[in-house]
Amino acid sequence: MPSESHDCACAERESLFVPREAKILHAHAPTSTEKHFTLQFADGSPLIFEPGQILEVGVMGYGEIPIGIASSPTRTHTFEIVVRTVGRVSTAINNKNIGDSLWVRGPLGHGFDVDALRGHDVLVVAGGIGICPTRSLIQYIADQRDDFGRFVLFYGARDPLQLLFPEDRGVWRATHGIEYHETVDRADISWTGNVGVITTLFRNTHLSEDTRVIICGPPVMFEFVIRELDQAGIKRENIYVDLERRMKCGVGKCGHCQINNKYCCIDGPVFTYAEIHELEEAI
């Protein structure tokens, strides 16, 4: 069977799915299950992104998974991710060390609309690994503090050993520009802070109705946090949710991340609550 290969320009067109090589410049394990990487593209090109966007990160032979970008977009020559060991691909990633490569596609999706936050009070509610994607926004706001109103940050984890970013937390706690509150579901003997689910932090914090809120955490968290925000009189269009769905392609094709008529990978992962509260299956 003769098969002439086709020689029009479309043969040179690029695949959406071929990743780029990124070198691991730093790697450390802040907890027993997470690893924090600082990466740089092997060809030296910068990663230009908005806070809240994601990457497909992989190890060839094992696959790739969606991961939030955990560093500020103001530093583009290197970028950071934190990966929690969950299954096949995340384990392969977390077995890599300084000098090794990861294979990356992105940035993908739709991040936080920082211009819409500018000039307003901001509350970030981050549960568990949800602190990682929001860290890009936290750093961004901290760097341009004067552009924003009051800045409140709630961070909750299962237990004290699961709290990520110890150096950052020190800074957040000590910086008067940030009202930082943390909580754990289960304390240990060393813990003197708040114990309880993240919504318990709302008790001692009064929020203005004009506050812009960002929520990122496990699926179960959203409903309870939104209930608190409703009581505080915060409008749906001022609430941003960072949603998690199974992903394969990251470019709106494979169908895995679909929520009603939206695709989490390209219409999100950041949505306003107004956009999705009527979409069945969203929250």
Partner 1 sequence: MSSFYIEERDFGTFVNTLAQNTRVVGPVAKRQKFVFGEIGSVEELRLDYDITILPPKKVFFPPKQVIARFDADSVEGTIAPVDTVLLGVHPYDVRGIDMTDFLFRERNEDWDYLAQREATTIVASNVQKVAPRAFWASMIDTNEPKGHDAYLTKLDGGYVFETRTPKGEALLARGAFRDATGPEVAAAQSVNADALGQCQEQLPYTSAEIAKTIRESFSNEELWDELSKDCFSCGSCNTVCPTCYCFDMRDVWNLDQKSGTRTRYWDACLTKEFAAISMPGGGHENFREHHQTRFRHRFMRKGAYLNEKLGSPACTGCGRCSMACTVDIADPVRVITTIMEWS
Q: What minimum distance in Å lies between the beta carbon of 259 and ligand FES? A: 10
Q: Which is nearer to ligand FES, 17 or 191 (CB)?
A: 17
- In this chain, which stretch among 11-19, 38-46, 201-209, 245-253 interacts with ligand FAD, using CB under 6 A? 245-253
Residue 132 contact partner, candidates partner 1, ligand FES, ligand FAD, none, CB within 5 to 8 A by sort of partner: ligand FAD
Report if residue 195 touches ligand FES, rule: CB under 6 A: no
Rounded least distance, CB 109 to ligand FAD, Å: 7
Q: How far apart are CA 258 and CA 260, in angstroms?
A: 6
Q: Are 155 and 181 in contact (CB under 8 A)?
A: yes
Q: Nearest-CA neighbor of 245 among 231, 259, 227?
A: 259
Residues 6+ apart with CB under 8 A from 200: 183, 194
Residue with tokens 């000098």: 99
- Strands (DSSP E) contained in 30-175 are 34-41, 54-59, 63-68, 79-84, 101-108, 122-127, 151-157
Closer Cβ to ligand FES, 28 or 253, answer by number: 253
How many angstroms separate the CA atoms of 166 and 37, rounded? 15
Q: Is residue 27 at the binding interface for ligand FES, with CB under 6 A as the rule?
A: no
CB-nearer residue toward ligand FES: 55 or 234? 55
> Cβ-closest residue to ligand FAD?
87
Query: How buried is residue 18: exposed, middle or buried, by Cβ count under 10 Å (0-12/13-18/19+)?
Result: exposed
| Contact status: 80 vs ligand FAD (CB under 6 A) | no
The yes or no reply on residue 132 touching ligand FAD (CB under 6 A) is yes
> Binders of ligand FES among 214-253, rule CB under 6 A?
247-250, 252-253
Residues touching ligand FES, count (CB under 6 A)? 13
Beta bridge partners of residue 110, listed in sequence order: 269
Identified binder of ligand FAD from the candidate list 66, 106, 128, 250, rule CB under 6 A = 66
Q: How many residues does the chain have?
A: 283
CB-based contacts of 14-19 (< 8 A; 24+ apart in sequence): 16/105, 16/249, 16/251, 16/253, 17/105, 17/249, 18/105, 19/56, 19/58, 19/64, 19/103, 19/104, 19/105
Contact 122, 151 (CB under 8 A): yes
Smallest gap from Cβ 126 to partner 1, in A, equals 16
- Applying CB under 6 A, the span of 9-17, 162-170, 194-202, 239-247 interacting with ligand FAD comes to 239-247
- For partner 1, the binding residues (CB under 8 A) are 1-6, 8, 10-11, 13-19, 21, 33, 58, 60-64, 84-87, 101, 103, 129, 218-219, 244-246, 248-249, 251-256, 258-261, 266, 280-281
- CA 253 → CA 58, 242, 246, 260, 263, distances in Å? 19, 20, 13, 14, 9
- 265 makes contact with ligand FES (CB under 6 A): yes
| Residues at the contact surface with ligand FES, assessed by CB under 6 A | 247-250, 252-257, 263-265
| Residues at the contact surface with ligand FAD, assessed by CB under 6 A | 54, 63, 65-68, 82-84, 86-90, 129, 132-133, 244-248, 269
